[in-house]
Structure 1
Amino acid sequence: MGLTNLLTDLWDTLSTHPAADAEAPPSGGTSSKLPASATDEESGEEADQKEDGEGEQGHNPGEKEDEDEEEEAEEELQDPKLKIEEECMATKECAPAKHHYDECVERVTGQIESDGKAKEDCVEEFFHLTHCATNCAAPKLFKVLK
């Protein structure tokens, strides 16, 4: 008896809802002239206000100084890893990997100049050189970092 009631209730629930047909958008009250809220376009009123000078915020003299200080702080920060890795690429430890990479670059450049395309690339040599430089730089890097 419980299963019959369940199926009957389920049938009644599903059969009482109308079909899910798409409805037309509501008419009236909306304007197609104004952009959607997520766009960067301006309405005609907003553009007029900006031309008239309305809606603009007052000039904040401290704002320029804050931006200059932020730019200076960003310019001062440099990644020490890059400098240490460049130094490591020039060491005796990474000399064989750098030599192979440089030879490959010369070979590929020559192929491009003569044939217009290269038959190979230097990705493997680059990865070997980068791996060597990273292994050399890692212990030095952690001494520099705070």
Structure 2
Amino acid sequence: MGVLELVGDYWEQLKETVVPVVAAAENDDNEQHEKGEEEEEEEGEEEEAKDGGDAEEEDEDEDEDDEDEDEDEEAVTDQLEDLREHFKNTEEGKPLVHHYEECAERVKTQQQQPGYEDLDHKEDCVEEFFHLQHYLDSATAPRLFDKLK
């Protein structure tokens, strides 16, 4: 018997002794937890009966507050994205966006051609993308922090 087999056997024995104990402990905890939840639910129902349903009214108020918060979040837009869109539509940005989109269209067309996987040189638009991003970053960075202040 080699060292690896001895270690493997020892590991299996150790695993068999530990795993059932852990699983049994989890089951016991779950049963106790479930019993506790049932008791809490019964107590909650009794309290609701005593209160005359006030808890339901509180739940409705909370739901209305949640809806108001969602509306506030939708109104906020990312100022960086707004600035980027603005600079994409400027005289300097339009040619860069056009050049990048042309390249992306060429690549998409090439990928649909048979034998594309076998080509030695596959065009990508990394250079065009970096030119566009460099322009957008350099144009938006100074203005973004002015808006955030």
1:45 is aligned, of 23, 35, 38, to 35
Q: Report the 3-state secondary structure (helix = DSSP H, G, I; strand = E; otherwise coil) of the residue aligned with 1:54.
A: helix
> 1:116 and 1:135, CA in 2 relative to 1: closer, same or farther beyond 3 A?
farther
CA distance in structure 2 between the partners assigned to 1:88 and 1:67 by the alignment = 36
Displacement after TM superposition at 1:135 (Å): 1.5
Alpha-carbon distance, 1:86 to partner: 1.1
Q: In the alignment, is residue 142 of structure 1 matched against residue 145 of structure 2?
A: yes
User: What is the aligned partner in structure 2 of residue 120 from structure 1?
Assistant: 123
**What residue number does 2:99 align with?**
100
Of stretches 101-110 and 134-143 in structure 1, the one that deviates more from structure 2 is 134-143
Q: Which has the higher contact order (CA 8 A, sep 6+)?
A: 2
Counterparts of residues 1-146 of structure 1 (less than 5 Å):
31-34=25-28, 43-45=33-35, 49=38, 53-54=41-42, 58-59=55-56, 60=58, 61-115=60-114, 117=116, 119-146=122-149
Q: Which has the larger radius of gyration?
A: 1
Shift of 1:117: 4.9
Q: TM-score, normalised by structure 1?
A: 0.59
CA RMSD in angstroms comes to 3.6
Distance 1:56 1:132 in 2: 61
Per-residue deviation at 1:56?
5.5
Compare the two structures and name the one with the higher helix fraction. Answer: 2
Q: Which amino acid in structure 2 is aligned with residue 34 of structure 1?
A: D
Cα separation, 2, equivalents of 1:116 and 1:82: 38
- Mark the runs of 5 or more structure 2 residues left unpaired by the alignment: 1-13, 46-54
Distance 1:93 1:113 in 2: 32
**TM-score of the aligned structures, taking structure 2 as reference length:** 0.58
Percent identity of paired positions between Structure 1 and Structure 2 = 36
Letter in 1 for 2:82: K
